[in-house]
Amino acid sequence: MADGPVLADLHFGREDAERDVKDGLLLRGGFLPNAAYRASVSGRKMLIIGRKGSGKSAICMQLMAAGGHNGAKALVSPDEAAGEEIRRFELQGLPGDSAKALIWRYVFAVHAARHLVTHARNAHGRRPDSVKTLGRFLKQNGESADGAGLGDRLAQGARGLQTSLSLEAFGVKASVDLGQSPSEGAQATRQLDVVEQGVAQAFADLRCDTVHAPLLLMVDQLEQVWSAEPDSNSMVIGLLLAAKHAASLYGRSIRLLLFLRADIYDSLSFGEGDKFRGDELRIVWTEQALRDLALARARASAGAGLTAEQLWRDFFPETVGGEETATFLFGRCLPRPRDAIQFLNLCQETAWLIHGRERITEADVLQASRQFSSWKLKDLTLEYLVAHPFLKHLFPLFQNTGYVVTRAALGSRFEEAAGTLHRLFPAYADALTLAGVIDILYAVGFLGVRRGSDVVFAGDDDLPVQPHETELHVHRCFREALGATTAIDIRRYEPLVAGARIASGSFGPAASATTALNRDDRLVRELIRSCHSVFSQVGRAVGPLSYEVRDEIFQQITRVLDDANRLATDTSSVDVDDHLLVTAHYFTTLAAQVLASGLDDTSGAGGVAHRIEEEARRLRRLAGGSYGGSGNSSGT
């Protein structure tokens, strides 16, 4: 390690692709090609869908960089001014979606025309009449290459479509040739058809579809101008319709590539939606893919020769909390690059900047994990602030309790909060039902659901939570921020033997009567027997009972058993009767907490709680009985 990279060199890049490009890391090998990138480069898919931070803009930036796409390219990223122009664009005689499609078609046609005017001279050495015509059209309509920004050009284009574009370059006088159109929408459509046919003719005259790579038109960052209102949804639907139309009209001369956030795309409902299934590809990240990304970015900053073994052995501790470090890290972030980059950088900064270490320790990772969990809970609220403004008001339902929650237990908690939620968010009352809340929290990645022996989250399985599925799990990413770090909310068992010895100052066996010593030994053996009885009941409940819940109960009963085994070696310094009574009280509390968590008989928890209660009663009888009694005279 001394002769190799040092921790100060290690950096996993920026959270946003735009800054990553400026810093150079993304283009120095920090980008990991995935299925979405390959589909984008090949042109097999037109619609790339992913959550915020899943890498959509990184693909876009990579394609915009030198060598990313062999042909010409243009990026359309609407700012608020441009978004406002599109959202409020209307045409009499056309529904909102169709009207918005026209303005997007105009945007694509103008970008293509501007490209052709310069491309014909630079790449083909000639300017056919069709290209010269486009040049005149652009100049007459204020759309020349040196024109204003997208918002201003859209405003001008919108006015042209709503009134009349200058089409004299194409030999059309709008006031005469288009004056008989039955509606504003029909006239705008006819005007746009003229422009699009002119662009298509120029591509054909230059034979662009056969001699070089197509013009790549990309649309990204649409979420910046989306507001979950009908006009915003129409803006997105119009974009999809326009892209489909342009792809059909221009053929191989133009390639359209749209990057959309999954929550926006999934909220759309329109009749043509089924026609886009073959065009869409959703970005999915596995743990292995995130490992590969971490290594690629580590190599880009710390040296190309860095191996995976060196990264996870020399820079990071081998394990954290008993888990392999990479598994610990990537299991506690949502499966997307932005989260992984933030968490990895936070670990490095905690060790190097805060503590001045040359290697990341387990304590550094644990400290970073607490901070990261808090970040992500806030970020989830902001990510869905437009679509689900009530989201942060749902988090208290899971605060300071177990991270495993049944539908029944959540229903009880939600019933208490429903009145407040409906009062604060009356417009969302229809969605703020128990079933609606579960669906939303599952869709955003906050909750998972147990299916068989696995807990699945949105992205792992396309199937939403089903009515018969009752066991829900808070994602590990959010547990520390919520104080929900154990499977169920049960009190930790604190060993009694060591404390009693410290308080008494006793060490080693002391003389006592044979009768008392034998009775104490018998009571300790019965306590050990109670522990094994509970273990057996928990073991029989495996399957219906969550593995996490089982392990939590096992852990606490094991602490009781370990305490009893230590007591069995020396009972002289402890009042065994009191020890049994205190343990019985803990068992009673534990049983109540198991049931209070909402894990009922259908989960197997009811039988476990009943067994724990029975053992608590038996221990009380034993502690109050006489020498030689079994404590089982009641038949339990």
Between the alpha carbon of residue 175 and those of residues 137, 168, 191, 517, the distances in Å are: 16, 11, 11, 112
**One domain, residues 197 and 86:** yes
Asked, for residue 65, whether it belongs to a domain, the answer is yes
pLDDT at residue 632, as a whole number: 52
Asked, for residue 30, whether it belongs to a domain, the answer is no
Name the residue among 468, 478, 473 with its Cα closest to residue 458: 473
Cβ(591)–Cβ(612) under 8 Å? yes
Question: Which of 2-6, 135-139, 599-603: highest mean pLDDT?
Answer: 135-139
pLDDT at residue 21, as a whole number: 63
Asked, for residue 630, whether it belongs to a domain, the answer is no
Cβ(405)–Cβ(474) under 8 Å? yes
Name the residue among 207, 255, 258 with its Cα closest to residue 72: 255
Tell me how far apart the alpha carbons of residues 428 and 419 are, in angstroms, rounded to a whole number: 12
pLDDT at residue 599, as a whole number: 62
pLDDT at residue 382, as a whole number: 93
Cβ(627)–Cβ(519) under 8 Å? yes
Q: Which residues contact 143 (CB under 8 A, 6 or more apart)?
A: 110, 113, 114, 137, 153, 156, 157
**pLDDT by residue (tens digit) across 66-97?**
778 888 998 888 887 788 888 888 888 888 89
pLDDT at residue 357, as a whole number: 93
Asked, for residue 2, whether it belongs to a domain, the answer is no
Q: Give me the helices (H) in 268-406, please.
A: 287-302, 308-310, 325-331, 337-349, 362-383
Query: pLDDT-derived band of residue 635, with 50, 70 and 90 as boundaries?
Result: very low
Percentages helix, strand, coil for the chain (3-state, rounded to 5) are 60, 5, 30
pLDDT at residue 270, as a whole number: 84
Tell me how far apart the alpha carbons of residues 24 and 27 are, in angstroms, rounded to a whole number: 5
**pLDDT by residue (tens digit) across 419-472?**
999 999 999 999 999 999 999 999 999 999 998 888 999 877 678 999 999 889
Query: Which segments within 177-253 are labelled E, that is strand?
Result: 215-219
Tell me how far apart the alpha carbons of residues 294 and 160 are, in angstroms, rounded to a whole number: 50
Q: Which residues contact 291 (CB under 8 A, 6 or more apart)?
A: 308, 326, 330
pLDDT at residue 46, as a whole number: 93
Coil vs helix vs strand at 631: coil
Asked, for residue 21, whether it belongs to a domain, the answer is no
pLDDT at residue 502, as a whole number: 35
Name the residue among 85, 235, 81, 89 with its Cα closest to residue 162: 89
Coil vs helix vs strand at 450: strand
**One domain, residues 258 and 295:** no
Name the residue among 29, 538, 508, 105 with its Cα closest to residue 298: 29
Tell me how far apart the alpha carbons of residues 330 and 74 are, in angstroms, rounded to a whole number: 35
Cα angle: 302, vertex 303, 305; to 5 degrees:
135
Query: pLDDT-derived band of residue 154, with 50, 70 and 90 as boundaries?
Result: confident
**One domain, residues 563 and 460:** no
**pLDDT by residue (tens digit) across 321-339?**
999 999 999 999 999 999 9
**pLDDT by residue (tens digit) across 488-497?**
877 777 776 5
Q: Which of 383, 407, 429 is the last residue of a domain?
A: 383
Average pLDDT over residues 136-153: 76
Coil vs helix vs strand at 69: coil
Tell me how far apart the alpha carbons of residues 24 and 39 are, in angstroms, rounded to a whole number: 24
**One domain, residues 311 and 419:** no
**One domain, residues 267 and 302:** no
Specify the length of the chain in residues.
636
**One domain, residues 152 and 229:** yes
**pLDDT by residue (tens digit) across 496-534?**
654 444 344 443 444 444 444 578 888 899 999 999 999
pLDDT at residue 601, as a whole number: 57
Query: pLDDT-derived band of residue 300, with 50, 70 and 90 as boundaries?
Result: confident
Asked, for residue 594, whether it belongs to a domain, the answer is yes
Q: Check pLDDT > 90 for residue 481.
A: yes
**One domain, residues 507 and 403:** no
Q: Which residues contact 290 (CB under 8 A, 6 or more apart)?
A: 330, 335, 337, 340
pLDDT at residue 492, as a whole number: 75
Q: Check pLDDT > 60 for residue 238.
A: yes
φ and ψ of 62, to 5 deg = -65, -40
Between the alpha carbon of residue 466 and those of residues 404, 435, 605, the distances in Å are: 17, 9, 21
**One domain, residues 152 and 50:** yes
pLDDT at residue 79, as a whole number: 80
Q: Check pLDDT > 60 for residue 245.
A: yes
**One domain, residues 277 and 402:** no
Tell me how far apart the alpha carbons of residues 481 and 378 are, in angstroms, rounded to a whole number: 10
**One domain, residues 439 and 569:** no
Tell me how far apart the alpha carbons of residues 343 and 12 are, in angstroms, rounded to a whole number: 10
> Taking the model in full, what pTM does it have?
0.79
Asked, for residue 629, whether it belongs to a domain, the answer is no
**One domain, residues 476 and 526:** no
Question: Which of 54-68, 155-169, 366-380: highest mean pLDDT?
Answer: 366-380
**One domain, residues 364 and 409:** no
pLDDT at residue 592, as a whole number: 85
230 vs 431, more confident: 431
Query: Would you call 321 exposed, middle or buried from its count of C-beta atoms within 10 A (0-12, 13-18, 19+)?
Result: exposed
Q: What is the CATH number for 354?
A: 1.10.8
Q: Check pLDDT > 60 for residue 3.
A: no
Q: Which of 242, 264, 282 is the last residue of a domain?
A: 282
Cα angle: 426, vertex 430, 434; to 5 degrees:
110
Quote the number of domains for the chain.
Answer: 4
pLDDT at residue 491, as a whole number: 73
The domain in which residue 547 lies consists of 497-624
Q: Check pLDDT > 70 for residue 45.
A: yes
User: How would DSSP label each residue in 179-190?
Assistant: TT-SSHHHHHHH
pLDDT at residue 327, as a whole number: 96
Average pLDDT over residues 340-362: 95
Query: pLDDT-derived band of residue 474, with 50, 70 and 90 as boundaries?
Result: very high
Asked, for residue 350, whether it belongs to a domain, the answer is yes
Q: What percent of the chain has pLDDT over 70?
A: 88
Average pLDDT over residues 303-320: 93
Choose the weakest-confidence range: 167-176, 280-289, 385-394, 564-573: 167-176
Mean pLDDT, rounded, of the chain: 85
Q: Which residues contact 447 (CB under 8 A, 6 or more apart)?
A: 438, 441, 457, 465, 472, 473, 474, 475
Q: Which of 353, 383, 413 is the last residue of a domain?
A: 383
